[in-house]
Structure 1
Amino acid sequence: TCPCQHHGMEYPPNHKEIRPGTKALQFCECTNGVWRCSAASAEQIRDYPNQSLDLTTSCSATRHQEYTHCEPPEPITCKNMHDPPAFSPSICRSGCICRRGYVLDSLTKECVKPSQCPCHHGGHSYSDGDKIQEDCNTCTCEGGKWTCTQHSCPGLCSAWGDSHFRTFDDRIFDFQGACDYMLAKGSLSDSDSFNVALEIVSCGTSGVSCPKAVTLSVGSGDKHETITFSTNKPLPVSINLDRITVRQAGLFVFAEVADLGIVLQWDRGTRVILKADPKWKGRLKGLCGNYNGDEKDDFQTPSGGVSEVSAQLFGDSWKLQPYCPQARPVLDTCKLHPNRKSWAVKKCGVLKSSLFRPCHSEVPIEPYLDRCIFDTCGCDQGGDCECLCTALAAYAQECNTRGVH
């Protein structure tokens, strides 16, 4: 019952195959760890394919490829050709590799010279000189590599669906509170200060909560201005506002404070996006984190110091009314509503489809897929599709920011 070895490959007991011999083809069988080979009959040649010969023929027929007994763990591609060489595999597999002097273009699956390598982004190939926009920077394809401008882009913080958050430093967490919370606040001086408060309420019978209203406040004293956006209410009149500019574009409403570099974006539902100019780096507090480039210390409370361990304790520390109840632990909504799980998994599966596939290499899909299923299982308010569409839009927005359209 012992396996056999050949050219570094392991074969199970009783494996049979045809191999090239010195004078003729041989029929080889693995018996108790030993190969027993003899001249192959016409019937054996017909019944047992010559694997290595077939591969050798197919590799030779393909442009700039050759046969190998031992494929590397990862082929040398346009993307990794400048990386250190990979270790040899522990178990060999025969196959085709690019000939010396060529590398694999992983998108076209063709072997090309390194000088012919395209740039890759969002599942597409780009030729030399092509340009793409990624956030606020322009990137140019030069010799198979992207060269990008080095502008400091605004930070992005978002809240969506059944209370999911992504901080300025890209930490994603969930928080099931029901109160008014400080999303972000910062101050350069008394007049150059702002805060964004988020009202979160219970939404549905699953015990989940979601944003209902968002309030932007700027300045202090006589120069204090504030505006609130709330679901199921008409847009507020902004005639008396000097520093806050309100405009609409498509589904979104924007509130901008140009001199502070702050833009609040609301989809009239449960999705809120806050943009902050780079001058606010390290100067912000709240559920959006401190915007210092390190996600590990985003869970700081109003008093500062060591970050909280749990999202629940962190979120509760930023509630604006002390009488509000503590946030509930996050429960599995699909266990609460097992009848909705298959529908939720199917509908959220569109994130894995060809529509979003170009973005998978730029934005990991798992955090958004898990939260989409969570929201869709728990959603019983505003129609079945409201939570689903919000969850899909959250991923699409992140893709758009990374230059995948």
Structure 2
Amino acid sequence: MDVDGCCPHYECQCICYGWGDPHYVTFDGTYYGFQGNCSYWLVKEILPKYNFSVMIDNYYCGEPDGLSCPQSITVFYESYKIFIIQKDINGIFTNQISVNDKRVSPAYQNGDFRIVTTGIDTVLVIPKIHAKITFSGLIFGIYLPYNGFAGNTEGQCGTCDNNRTDDCMLPSGKIDPSCPHMAHEWHVNNSNCEPVPPKPTPPPNPCDKSMCEIIKSSVFEACHKIVDYGPFVVACEFDVCHMHINHIGCISLQTYADVCAESGVCIDWRSATKGLCEYKCESPKVYQACGPQVEPTCDSWYNQKFIYMADAFSAMTSMELEGCSCPNGTILLSSNSNECVPSCELCRLPDGKYKQANATWTEGCKQCICEEDVLQVACHPLPCPAQPSLSCDQEGQIKVTDTTGCCPKEKCGK
């Protein structure tokens, strides 16, 4: 709506994303490729209004062509520094998050922002300024409202003003004819930048671009009219021809699927890649193409805070995304566990493990049961069998008590 609230008009929201080695689409939709091993400003405010900025750290990942990839992303907001990095732990990619240099585990929320993860994507939302930042290793997305940031952004994501002619603006304010050249100029002060490598040369042999055709196929048809797939096809073809990695095209498909999902169209696309883009979840969790950003658990307080409470945080994390979750018929035990259980009717044990309601077990010299009505553990001493009468009537014998085991036992001793 206009300022006076009388007339509506259309605005393109400020959406910038990058992926692969890396490819960028600016807030106004300009696509460009960029190589650089350094820390760069993706977004800064020209005139400080919200104390908001986003920085990305790249590293060289595509020898011998000198290609670079995103490694971590840092969001600055008011007095917060939110750092997200993805690490490969035993073949499982895990996003690690810290707030003001202190590790936190998602879902995490304070009065100003919320961080959730699907096991693949990490999502940060700041309701007060309606900002959303997503990160999944080689992919990032920045979603800002036009009415809060129009004409007031600079950096590798360009100026959000619905005008592509000024997308390649340098820190000096001048417009560079080359966005890749502009992108290098947004390196963070004091960051260790290596020299720009030579541009990759086309491979001598034709490369297989068939995976990239999936983006244009009926698999993504529901999203074609909502999000232009052109840049993702171009990026996919570049990657499969230069990075010499079988599954590198998956990154462009995943990015297009992420952007579609954020627009409300969730697509099960990995099944169309003949296993090449299959995602491996940490057992016992399984891959889910379209699932909740916050998985329900057996902790009722957690569910109430992150799922059932209708507020600005839940409104910004309601879109379905791909991720890893417990198999059908089971539920996640708690947010900080990776245990899927068939029921939440469980008793919690001191060692952190759980028992089903009515389960019985022996613990030391006690018989324990998980009481169904209160879900509490009750333990009682093991019953001891009656002992036969013992007569120690030989010379030098006396009765002694053997305390080996749980039940005392009398025997004859000397």
- TM-score range (shorter-chain normalised) is 0.5 to 0.7
Question: Which one of the candidate residues 39, 59, 67 is aligned to 1:208?
Answer: 67
SS for the counterpart of 1:273 is strand
SS for the counterpart of 1:282 is coil
CA distance in 1, matches of 2:45, 2:257: 28
Q: 1:357 to 1:184 in 2, by over 3 A?
A: same
Q: Give the aligned partner of residue 230 of structure 1.
A: 85
8 A contact 2:236–2:252 mirrored in 1: yes
Correspondence list, 1:180-219, <5 A: 180-186=39-45, 189=48, 192-205=50-63, 206-219=65-78
Q: Give the aligned partner of residue 342 of structure 1.
A: 207
8 A contact 1:316–1:326 mirrored in 2: no
8 A contact 2:12–2:162 mirrored in 1: no
Q: Deviations over 1:67-117 (max 9, x none)?
A: xxxxxxxxxxxxxxxxxxxxxxxxxxxxxxxxxxxxxxxxxxxxxxxxxxx
Cα drift, residue 183 of structure 1 = 0.3
CA distance in 1, matches of 2:242, 2:129: 38
Q: Does 1:295 align with 2:164?
A: yes
Cα drift, residue 363 of structure 1 = 4.3
Question: Which one of the candidate residues 104, 128, 141 is aligned to 1:273?
Answer: 141
Q: 1:397 to 1:180 in 2, by over 3 A?
A: same
Cα drift, residue 194 of structure 1 = 1.1
Correspondence list, 1:42-121, <5 A: none
CA distance in 1, matches of 2:207, 2:62: 20
- Which letter does structure 2 place at the counterpart of 1:200? N
Question: Which one of the candidate residues 91, 103, 115 is aligned to 1:246?
Answer: 115
Question: Which one of the candidate residues 27, 31, 36 is aligned to 1:172?
Answer: 31
Cα drift, residue 187 of structure 1 = 6.3
Q: Give the aligned partner of residue 113 of structure 1.
A: none
Q: Give the aligned partner of residue 14 of structure 2.
A: 155
- Percentage of pairs with the same residue: 26
Q: Does 1:389 align with 2:250?
A: yes
SS for the counterpart of 1:318 is coil
Cα drift, residue 314 of structure 1 = 0.1
CA distance in 2, matches of 1:303, 1:240: 37
Q: 1:201 to 1:261 in 2, by over 3 A?
A: same
- Which letter does structure 2 place at the counterpart of 1:158? Y
Q: 1:329 to 1:395 in 2, by over 3 A?
A: farther
CA distance in 2, matches of 1:286, 1:330: 22
CA distance in 1, matches of 2:10, 2:234: 33
Cα drift, residue 368 of structure 1 = 1.8
Q: Does 1:255 align with 2:124?
A: yes
Q: 1:235 to 1:364 in 2, by over 3 A?
A: closer
CA distance in 2, matches of 1:241, 1:301: 35
Cα drift, residue 329 of structure 1 = 4.9
8 A contact 1:201–1:210 mirrored in 2: yes
SS for the counterpart of 2:218 is coil
Q: Does 1:368 align with 2:236?
A: no
Stretch deviating more after TM superposition (309-318 or 279-288): 309-318
8 A contact 2:36–2:184 mirrored in 1: yes
Q: Deviations over 1:186-205 (max 9, x none)?
A: 26657x21110000110131
Q: Give the aligned partner of residue 318 of structure 1.
A: 186
**Structure 1 segments unaligned to the other structure (5+ residues):** 1-148
Q: 1:321 to 1:188 in 2, by over 3 A?
A: closer
Task: Give the length in aligned residue pairs.
Answer: 242
Q: 1:253 to 1:317 in 2, by over 3 A?
A: same
CA distance in 2, matches of 1:329, 1:391: 23
8 A contact 2:66–2:198 mirrored in 1: no
8 A contact 1:169–1:292 mirrored in 2: yes
**Structure 2 segments unaligned to the other structure (5+ residues):** 1-7, 88-94, 267-414
- Which letter does structure 1 place at the counterpart of 2:58? I
CA distance in 1, matches of 2:109, 2:225: 46
8 A contact 2:74–2:84 mirrored in 1: yes
Q: Deviations over 1:163-205 (max 9, x none)?
A: 1001110111111111000000126657x21110000110131
SS for the counterpart of 2:97 is coil
- Which letter does structure 1 place at the counterpart of 2:84? F
Cα drift, residue 394 of structure 1 = 2.1
8 A contact 1:183–1:288 mirrored in 2: yes
CA distance in 2, matches of 1:151, 1:298: 20
Cα drift, residue 312 of structure 1 = 2.9
- Which letter does structure 2 place at the counterpart of 1:368? F
Report the TM-score when normalising by structure 1: 0.54
SS for the counterpart of 2:213 is helix
CA distance in 1, matches of 2:112, 2:196: 35
8 A contact 1:283–1:291 mirrored in 2: yes
- Which letter does structure 2 place at the counterpart of 1:243? D
CA distance in 1, matches of 2:263, 2:83: 29
C-alpha RMSD over aligned residues = 2.8
- Which letter does structure 1 place at the counterpart of 2:238? F
